[in-house]
Structure 1
Amino acid sequence: MKILDRYILVTYLKTFFSVFIILMFIFVLQTIWLYINELAGKDLDIWIVLKFLWFVSPRLIPLVLPLTILVTSLMVFGNFSENYEFAAMKSTGISLQRAMRSLTVFILLLSFTAFLFANNVIPWSEYKWQNLRRNIAQVSPSMVIAEGQFSQIGDDFNIKVGEKSGDRDQFLKDVVIHKKDPSRPNGNFTVIIADNGELASEEGSNTLSLILKDGNYYDDVQQKDPKKQLRQPFAKSYFEEYAINIDLTAFNNTDVEKENELSNQNMYKMSELFVEIDSLSVSYSKDIRLFSENMYYRSGVSKFSDYTKIDSVSTDTLETILNIFPKKRQAEIVDMALNNIKGTIQSVGSKKNEFKVKTKRLNKFEMALHDKYVLAFACIILFFVGAPLGAIIRKGGMGLPMVVAIVLFLTYHFIGIFAKNSAEDGTLHPFIATWLSTVIMLPLSVWLTYRATTDQGIFDIDSFVQRIGRLFGKKASDNELPE
């Protein structure tokens, strides 16, 4: 390696690692801010918190690495231009392409490493993070109880609250509890509704007291006589204060290292994604085929397979067929047909929602597959956006280059987010949505590289002004011609 290549590479690497550490620190702080509710107030060891952050860090790389390359390229090449180092290189016959040679090799190696990282490390860390997150959620019952939905605590209670408050979320409003009875295992026969509640427990105790205030207690009465049971008898009582003791032994013995069965598209490697996508596609196609066949048989058309012109039956013909039956029977036939149509419409509507969910899941898996390739190509393309742009603007440091880099990266990132959101519901193909932002940046990188290597600015203002002047000058001369 020549001295010039070593100098450029070392300068780039120093800035690269500095920017990477700073950006990684910022994104980790953002992660702490997002998940502070899941970590605070649970008496977790600092080792568990650090492990949580360690597992969540790899999923930040697809954001941090491309931004780091863009910022570093702008800063380094802006410094070279600002300090006239590129001018000195060009005076000795060294072009911009030649100066970028060592960095191009580094970026290619880095892109390949990013691809391997996305294919191997990120799926592993995603599973570890989601697994640890679920185990941490079981440490504190107050965190398990979510607002606006039923949450199970232990084996006997399903609790729903409208609102939580307090420094430990111990105060509850609009509490609904479904209590299971071991002697009646076939359902939830006891319902407790209270306006307010409070979670209280003594330090070191394995019992949690749920104190309910101003509520009602409903208990279904099970009758042996089927006729009496049809009346659905129940017992109701009102209480001003009612305490429920919940055994916390299972929560206090929660193993945060326990391996749960978790699965989402970000936990798969490429080889596994190919298998999963193929399996989901086959299953999806099979479900559509079976549903269409089922609807065809339900319509009754298959019974008229011997009639070749069944599609051309007119309204008059149908009325003639109805006239064969008595008036009372005709009304029954019409009502039956209407009910069948309504049932078919409901069935199609429910299946439509089911297929929409399956389509969304399949699209997510396809996007997860392409994301592994996109990360590698994004590193290369953003380098060829940042490096020539830094040489053109001729400004280094953390000021203007940082602003330009953030604007470019936010544009790149937001295009990708909007495209992926559109792809989830089937508006865009997953392949197009995943590659769209990178493909948009590709011509920009080619154009900037061409402008920088030919010693041109982003816009040639002098040439633009001259062309405008010639245009107006030509119009003025045309107006001065004699008639």
Structure 2
Amino acid sequence: MKILDRYILSTFLKTFFPLFFIIMFILLLQTIWLFISELAGKDLDFSVIIKFLTFATPRLIPMVLPLTILLTSIMIFGSFAENYEFAAMKSSGISLQRAMRTLAVFIFFVGIGAFLFSNTVIPSSEKRFINLRKNIVKVKPAMVIAPNQFNDLGDINIKVAEKYGDNDQFLRDIIIHKKAAKPGNFTVIKAVDGELRGSTDSDLITLILKDGNYYDEIQQRSPQRRKKIPFAKTHFEKYLLNIDLSSLDNVDMDAQQYRKGYNMLNVNELRHEIDTLSDRVNKDFESVIDNIEKRNGLKELNKNIKIDTLPKATKDSLDLKDYFDTKQKVQIYKLAFSNADGVIRQINSTQSTTTALKRALNKYEMSLHDKYALGVACIILFFVGAPLGAIIRKGGMGLPIVIGVVLFLTYHFIGIFAKNSAEEGGIPPFIGSWLSTFIIFPLSIFLTRRATTDQGIFNFDNFVQPVKDFFVKRFSKEEK
């Protein structure tokens, strides 16, 4: 390696690593802020918090690494241009492409490393991160009660409209479903207000309910009695419910129960999962079509009838008045309505199921493409930042940081909007993962070409000069 190549590479790395750790630290603080409700007030060991931060760090690499490459490229090449180091290189016969060659090779290997990292380290850390969050939640189940949704707490399912108080111990508009040996919600408790009381020395948590009703469904064999007395209702002003949490005290923070998330799989596992979901969607469609054909009898319609012997119909609709009496007509219409209603219900049910499956399938496909797109994005963003720094001829932490952040935010938001659209099926998952990279690729070619020919981003003379020439000719004619 020549002295010039070593100088450019060392200058790049001296800026790259500090900037990488600064950006990582900022985003890690944001992650802590997002999950502070899951960590605060749970008396967690310091080792558990360190594990949480360690497992959360790799998931930030897809944002930190491209941004660091873009900002470092702009800053370094802007500094070279500002200090006339590029001018010295060009006077010695060294072009911009020659100066970028060593860094381009380095960034190429960084891109390969980014793919390998996203294929191995990120799925493993994501799996541990999700499972650690689930295990932390079990440490203090009282904090699991989220408003406006059912929460599993001991032997009950509880839903509250609002939590308030210094420690969120007061509840409002409470609905409780007590678990039973048989599947089903046979006991329901509703209350206007409630309060959670517990002690660190006890395995029991007391739920005090105020001004509510206790509903208990009566299990009767006779349908007639069940209609007369479907349930028993008891009103109470105050009701105490003790919840045993002893089974949740000893929580293993290293337990791994969740393994099938789209961010937890590598390339081979993602492809297998995509094939499985695709086959399932196709089988659901085939099953619905087969069931509908069996229900309406299309397959069996012409088996025992010769079409040539049937009289030619004069109307498109079927008229039953010449073949059946009134009672038979009513039965036929009821049967047709029942079949049509069943088909519609089956289609709607299958549609909702396949919509959820397709959404999951889109996520798995985007996760697969994201692993390849990360490495390619690192390479392309280098070819955006390096020529852009040479064009603006400004290094340091001022203008290059502003331009780099604006470019990266544009790139990042385009990717977010594309992925959201792809998840809902608006565009293919392939486009959702690669759209921002496809948009930034022509910009890298344009900037590299402009920087190579020593031109600015825009040549304003091409717009201003024709206007000047027009007015000069106009005034010269008037003077003559």
- Please indicate, yes or no, whether the TM-score normalized by the shorter chain is above 0.5: yes
Equivalent residue for 1:291?
A: 288
- The residue type paired with residue 409 of structure 2 is L
Matches within 5 A, 1:184-223: 185-223=182-220
Equivalent residue for 1:417?
A: 416
Equivalent residue for 1:47?
A: 47
1:281 to 275, 278, 290: 278
CA distance in 2, matches of 1:296, 1:7: 74
SS for the counterpart of 2:252 is: coil
Contact 1:120–1:269 (CA under 8 A) maintained in structure 2: yes
Matched, 1:438 2:450: no
Indicate how the Cα distance of structure 1 residues 297 and 107 shifts in structure 2: closer, same or farther if over 3 A, else same.
Answer: same
Deviation at 1:381, TM superposition (A): 0.2
Deviation at 1:462, TM superposition (A): 2.2
Matched, 1:116 2:116: yes
Indicate how the Cα distance of structure 1 residues 193 and 458 shifts in structure 2: closer, same or farther if over 3 A, else same.
Answer: same
Deviation at 1:235, TM superposition (A): 2.7
Matched, 1:453 2:470: no
Q: 1:115-168 CA distances to partner (integer Å, 9 max, x unpaired)?
A: 1000000000110000001111111112222211211112x2111111112333
Q: 1:267-315 CA distances to partner (integer Å, 9 max, x unpaired)?
A: 11111112111222122212211211211221222232346699x9868
Contact 2:284–2:350 (CA under 8 A) maintained in structure 1: no
Equivalent residue for 1:252?
A: 249
TM-score between the two structures when normalised by the length of structure 1: 0.93
SS for the counterpart of 2:256 is: coil
Indicate how the Cα distance of structure 1 residues 414 and 468 shifts in structure 2: closer, same or farther if over 3 A, else same.
Answer: same
Q: 1:7-33 CA distances to partner (integer Å, 9 max, x unpaired)?
A: 111111111111111110111111111
Contact 2:419–2:433 (CA under 8 A) maintained in structure 1: yes
Deviation at 1:331, TM superposition (A): 3.0
Between the two proteins, the alignment pairs up a number of residues equal to 475
- The residue type paired with residue 375 of structure 1 is L
Contact 2:359–2:424 (CA under 8 A) maintained in structure 1: yes
Deviation at 1:232, TM superposition (A): 3.5
- The residue type paired with residue 343 of structure 1 is G
CA distance in 1, matches of 2:121, 2:314: 66
Matches within 5 A, 1:219-368: 219-223=216-220, 227-306=224-303, 316=315, 318-368=317-367
Q: 1:177-212 CA distances to partner (integer Å, 9 max, x unpaired)?
A: 112355xx3543222111111111123221111111
Q: 1:38-63 CA distances to partner (integer Å, 9 max, x unpaired)?
A: 11111111211121111011111001
Indicate how the Cα distance of structure 1 residues 279 and 221 shifts in structure 2: closer, same or farther if over 3 A, else same.
Answer: closer
CA distance in 1, matches of 2:9, 2:423: 41
Deviation at 1:370, TM superposition (A): 0.6
Equivalent residue for 1:170?
A: 169
CA distance in 2, matches of 1:376, 1:348: 42
Task: Name stretches of at least 5 consecutive residues in structure 2 with no aligned partner.
Answer: none
More displaced stretch, 118-127 vs 314-323: 314-323
- The residue type paired with residue 213 of structure 1 is K
SS for the counterpart of 2:415 is: helix
Q: 1:293-344 CA distances to partner (integer Å, 9 max, x unpaired)?
A: 211221222232346699x986836444442101232233223323322332
Deviation at 1:360, TM superposition (A): 1.0
Matched, 1:88 2:83: no
Equivalent residue for 2:136?
A: 136
Q: 1:92-113 CA distances to partner (integer Å, 9 max, x unpaired)?
A: 1111111112111110111111
Contact 2:288–2:347 (CA under 8 A) maintained in structure 1: no
More displaced stretch, 313-322 vs 199-208: 313-322
Equivalent residue for 2:145?
A: 145
Indicate how the Cα distance of structure 1 residues 329 and 472 shifts in structure 2: closer, same or farther if over 3 A, else same.
Answer: farther
Indicate how the Cα distance of structure 1 residues 440 and 165 shifts in structure 2: closer, same or farther if over 3 A, else same.
Answer: same
Indicate how the Cα distance of structure 1 residues 420 and 196 shifts in structure 2: closer, same or farther if over 3 A, else same.
Answer: same
CA distance in 2, matches of 1:52, 1:161: 29
Contact 1:142–1:169 (CA under 8 A) maintained in structure 2: no
CA distance in 1, matches of 2:207, 2:47: 31
CA distance in 2, matches of 1:321, 1:240: 64
CA distance in 1, matches of 2:183, 2:13: 66
Indicate how the Cα distance of structure 1 residues 313 and 347 shifts in structure 2: closer, same or farther if over 3 A, else same.
Answer: farther
- The residue type paired with residue 295 of structure 1 is I
More displaced stretch, 136-145 vs 372-381: 136-145
Matched, 1:379 2:378: yes
Contact 2:75–2:400 (CA under 8 A) maintained in structure 1: yes
Contact 1:323–1:330 (CA under 8 A) maintained in structure 2: no
- The residue type paired with residue 157 of structure 1 is I
- The residue type paired with residue 150 of structure 2 is F
What is the alpha-carbon root mean square deviation over aligned residues?
2.3
Equivalent residue for 1:104?
A: 104
CA distance in 1, matches of 2:179, 2:312: 58
Deviation at 1:224, TM superposition (A): 5.7
CA distance in 2, matches of 1:144, 1:314: 67
CA distance in 2, matches of 1:276, 1:315: 54
Contact 1:174–1:193 (CA under 8 A) maintained in structure 2: yes
CA distance in 2, matches of 1:318, 1:450: 70
Contact 1:41–1:168 (CA under 8 A) maintained in structure 2: no
TM-score between the two structures when normalised by the length of structure 2: 0.93
SS for the counterpart of 1:329 is: helix
CA distance in 1, matches of 2:316, 2:419: 52
Contact 1:111–1:375 (CA under 8 A) maintained in structure 2: yes
Indicate how the Cα distance of structure 1 residues 257 and 452 shifts in structure 2: closer, same or farther if over 3 A, else same.
Answer: same
Equivalent residue for 1:18?
A: 18
- The residue type paired with residue 247 of structure 1 is D
Q: 1:336-373 CA distances to partner (integer Å, 9 max, x unpaired)?
A: 32332233222212211111111111111111111010
CA distance in 1, matches of 2:432, 2:473: 47
Indicate how the Cα distance of structure 1 residues 471 and 442 shifts in structure 2: closer, same or farther if over 3 A, else same.
Answer: farther
Equivalent residue for 1:79?
A: 79
Task: Name stretches of at least 5 consecutive residues in structure 1 with no aligned partner.
Answer: none
Deviation at 1:71, TM superposition (A): 0.7
